[in-house]
Structure 1
Amino acid sequence: QTIKLTDFGVQGAESNNILYLREIDDADKLVAAMQAKKDGKAVVVGGGYIGLELSAALKINNFDVTMVYPEPWCMPRLFTAGIAHFYEGYYASKGINIVKGTVASGFDADANGDVSVVKLKDGRVLDADIVIVGVGGRPLTGLFKGQVEEDKGGLKTDTFFETSVAGVYAIGDVATFPMKLYNEPRRVEHVDHARKSAEQAVKGDQGQGVRRVRGGVRLPALLLFEVVRCRVAVLRRERWRDGAVRGQRPSGGQAQVRHLLGQGRQGHRCVPRGRLRRRESGHRQGRQGPAAGGRRGGARQGRP
């Protein structure tokens, strides 16, 4: 269920062209508004997937775009400050204005009832022809009230997504499951998690639980401004050490090792060309960073 600003009694939130994106009908309304307000000004409320992706889409369609979100950086539940800084810089380079640390507190409309002004809590005022709100959703758990144990707005599950009722499973963003990374139960609102949690539930139901793998989510690629052609190397993590990788670097360019979810770890680290080394038969894999200097196991620094 989409969280709407009208749920909180925000002044003027019922104005025309204050839009949300959840269903096909919502997408149709957004397209119609973009056509009616061609080359206008758009304010995007929210710094998550919806906010980032729609900001890019609006900019591609020649809108003057401003993003507004209360967090200190975009995607705070997934991105470290360093990674968020990269994305925010990239968006700024495309001409998107980013306003952080405040929220929309009210809206003004013109004589036709169309939104015209966004009022921010910090006192700033933004002109707007379109406002898109992406501040999350709520799981619909009402059907299970009093029947299944709940936690943090979702249905509480174990690591195989089985609820408090034996044989009943909850998958996707409705499930509150033990996330080992944070050592606490969490819900994950992403389509890839819906697929992966279903796979995990099937493993548990088939009795493949000798090694109880914690439920989790893989990070998706964000839809940005263009499709980038790239050469990809498959690298395997080694004991979660910063920069410890295994695999073969493609010729040319750079490789990057990034801790996307690791709390208290370095946000990212770049591996300059020539610093990743191929694993050779009978020798230990080399590592990037200061420890990579000199000779190790017959692998020479600079070898592809």
Structure 2
Amino acid sequence: MSDETYVVVGGGLAGGRVAETLREEGFDGDVVLVTVEDRPPYERPVLSKGYLLGAEPVTSAYLHDAAWWRDHAIDVRTETMVTGLRLDDRLLELEDGGTLAYDKLALATGSWPRRLDVPGADLDGVLYLRDMPEAERIKKVLDSGGPLVVVGAGWIGLEIAAAARTHSVPVTVLETAPLPLQRVLGDDVATIFAELHRHHGVDLRLSTGIARIDGKDGATVSSVVTSAGDVLPAAAVVVGIGAEPQVDWILAAGLRGEDGVDTDATLQTSDPSVWAVGDIAAVDNPALGRRVRIEHWAMAHDSGPVAARAMLGQGAVFDKLPYFYTDQYDLGMEYVGHVPDVTTTDVVLRGDATDASEPLAFQAFWLRDGVVEAAMHVNLWDTGIAPLEALVGKRVDPVRLADTSVPFDQLGV
């Protein structure tokens, strides 16, 4: 029997997976998971996908029900905020003035939405999608018929727009860049997403920001004024302009990192008793040969078990390629790899991606000097992501890559 205490900070998917795996791997010491939320661990993708679409209940996001955590002797402490870390003493400082001792610690504090800084941003009805209560508020707006203004045409913003249009809610998306997802996908593929949303009735206003939000009686959102001076009626404004890793008190304690917490391939930080997982982990990833920090579901899902096994001395290594997916209207997409700078890559399309009025079915590849850095497929579920993943890191002939008659196993050069 172990007399050690392993503590996990964070009630999202990454933290939940750490605690879950510790028990699966036979650790019989104390496991404590602390979360600022008022409920046990859950994952986020359901909130912007199945739940807003009306296809899944919000409760489907939970990793396990409350009884599972009790049955596995995992002490889930809800509504508990950590404010400090004393590495030498192996102590967490809590907002209520107490402390929590640990022998080993996993940090899974995640990211929080970047806040909008314009007049009226504090009005009731300015919403962000990060947790269950926020998702439930957005769902009420969709059920009431809107209209909705979405600020930011990233993944979250576009998924919310797609959910709104699925409910026949009028929606306007404001994006300061010339194209949605431009920084991630590049012009060619970003244009496909712009056409997709316009085909489904989204009022997509590009190179357009938000000047202010006006409120009814100065309290509740009633309209949005764009940077072009247009006035848009709004029952609510949903903001999706990026996220920031929650690492202030972590880095203040002395752990190394800048935009996140630096870890080695085992997810161990600069302190040998502390690991970092999920959004905040800037991992020295051997699959990429460089340090990266990834804010996607797969990172949380996969890094938690690796950290748990590393905490148990099993030599686990995080060597997976970054992966994410999205569902928008009849478009289902999977993406694997990592592109540090999309402006310096060549994009190769394989298949027909020209008609947004039909369900799209194609693949896209991002090449640097002939080497595949990332790949994605849209609606090609028979092929799936596996053969694309096998091409990441390989040198290919771009002409043959674009030729659908050339089998994948004959593309490498």
In the TM superposition, residue 92 of structure 1 has moved relative to its aligned partner by: 0.7
AA at the equivalent of 2:279:
D
Report the CA distance between 1:74 and its aligned residue.
2.1
**Counterpart Cα distance in 1 of 2:173 and 2:262:** 34
CA distance, structure 1, for counterparts of residue 375 and residue 237 of structure 2:
34
Displacement after TM superposition at 1:17 (Å): 1.6
Q: Is the aligned partner of 1:16 residue 2:120?
A: no
Q: Does 2:191 correspond to 1:80?
A: no
What secondary structure sits across from 1:219 in the alignment? Answer: strand
Q: How many pairs align? A: 250
Q: For residues 123 and 160 of structure 1, do their structure 2 counterparts lie closer, same or farther at Cα, with a shift above 3 Å needed?
A: farther
Q: Give me the whole-angstrom Cα distance separating, in 2, the residues matched to 1:53 and 1:290.
A: 33
Q: Could you tell me which amino acid in structure 2 is paired with residue 217 of structure 1?
A: P
Cα distance in 1 for residues equivalent to 2:189 and 2:234: 29
CA distance in 2, matches of 1:32, 1:291: 45
* Structure 2 Cα separation of the partners of residues 136 and 219 of structure 1: 16
| Structure 1 residues 177 and 125: alpha-carbon distance in aligned structure 2, compared to 1, 3 A threshold | farther
Q: Does 1:94 align with 2:200?
A: yes
Q: Per the alignment, do residues 242 and 53 of structure 1 end up closer, same or farther by CA in structure 2, a change over 3 Å counting?
A: closer
Q: Deviations over 1:118-162 (max 9, x none)?
A: 12234333232221111222222234222311212x111223322
Q: Give the Cα separation in 1 of the matches to 2:401 and 2:120.
A: 59
Kindly provide the CA deviation profile for residues 247-276 of structure 1, in whole angstroms up to 9, marking residues without a partner as x.
Answer: xxxxxx9974421x5457799999xxxxx9
1:67 aligns with 2:176: no
SS in 1 for 2:323: coil
Percentage of matched positions with identical amino acids = 25
Opposite residue 29 of structure 1, the aligned amino acid is R
Give secondary structure in 2 for the equivalent of 1:177: strand
CA distance in 2, matches of 1:269, 1:146: 39
Q: Secondary structure at the match of 1:117?
A: strand
Residue 282 of structure 2: aligned partner: 176
Does structure 2 conserve the Cα–Cα contact (< 8 Å) formed by 1:159 and 1:215?
A: no
SS of the residue 2:130 aligns to? coil
More strand by share: 2
1:3 to 114, 139, 143: 114
Structure 1 position 133 matched with structure 2 position 239: yes
Cα separation, 1, equivalents of 2:122 and 2:363 = 45
CA RMSD of aligned residues (A): 4.0
Listed as ranges, the matches of 1:187-226 within 5 Å are: 187-201=293-307, 206-207=314-315, 214=319, 216-220=321-325, 222-226=326-330
Q: Please give the residue correspondences for 1:266-285 in structure 2 after superposition, counting only pairs within 5 Å.
A: none
State whether residues 156 and 177 of structure 1, in contact with CA within 8 Å, keep that contact through their aligned partners in structure 2. Answer: yes
**What is the CA–CA distance in structure 2 between the aligned matches of 1:69 and 1:28, rounded to whole Å?**
24
Larger radius of gyration: 1
Distance (Å, rounded) in 1 between the aligned partners of 2:303 and 2:192: 30
AA at the equivalent of 1:3: R
Find the aligned partners of 2:267 and 2:349 in 1 and give their Cα distance. Answer: 32
What is the TM-score of this pair, normalised by structure 2? 0.51
Aligned to 1:56: 162
Question: How many Å apart are 1:290 and its aligned residue?
Answer: 5.7
Structure 1 contact 196–217 (Cα < 8 Å) conserved: no
Superposition deviation, residue 20 in structure 1: 1.2
Does the 8 Å contact 1:176/1:187 carry over to 2?
yes
* From 22, 26, 32, the counterpart of 2:140: 32
Q: Distance in 2 between matches of 1:189 and 1:203?
A: 22
SS in 2 for 1:223: strand
How far residue 169 of structure 1 moved from its aligned partner, in angstroms, is 1.6
Point out where structure 2 has 5 or more consecutive residues left out of the alignment: 1-111, 333-346, 351-358, 378-382, 384-396, 407-413
Which shows bigger deviation, 91-100 or 175-184?
Answer: 175-184
- Structure 1 unpaired stretches of 5+: 229-240, 245-252, 271-275, 277-286, 297-304
Q: C-alpha deviations, 1:228-259, integer Å up to 9, x for none?
A: 7xxxxxxxxxxxx9699xxxxxxxx9974421
Offset at residue 184 of structure 1 (A): 5.7
1:148 alignment partner in structure 2: 255
Task: Tell me if 1:45 matches 2:151.
Answer: yes
Whole-angstrom distance in 2 between the partners of 1:45 and 1:65? 11
**TM value normalised by structure 1:** 0.68
The Cα shift of 1:107 comes to 0.9
**Which deviations, in whole Å up to 9, do the C-alpha atoms of 1:28-47 show, x marking residues without a partner?**
222233344x2x32110111
The structure whose residues are more often helix, as a share, is 2
> Per the alignment, do residues 166 and 3 of structure 1 end up closer, same or farther by CA in structure 2, a change over 3 Å counting?
same
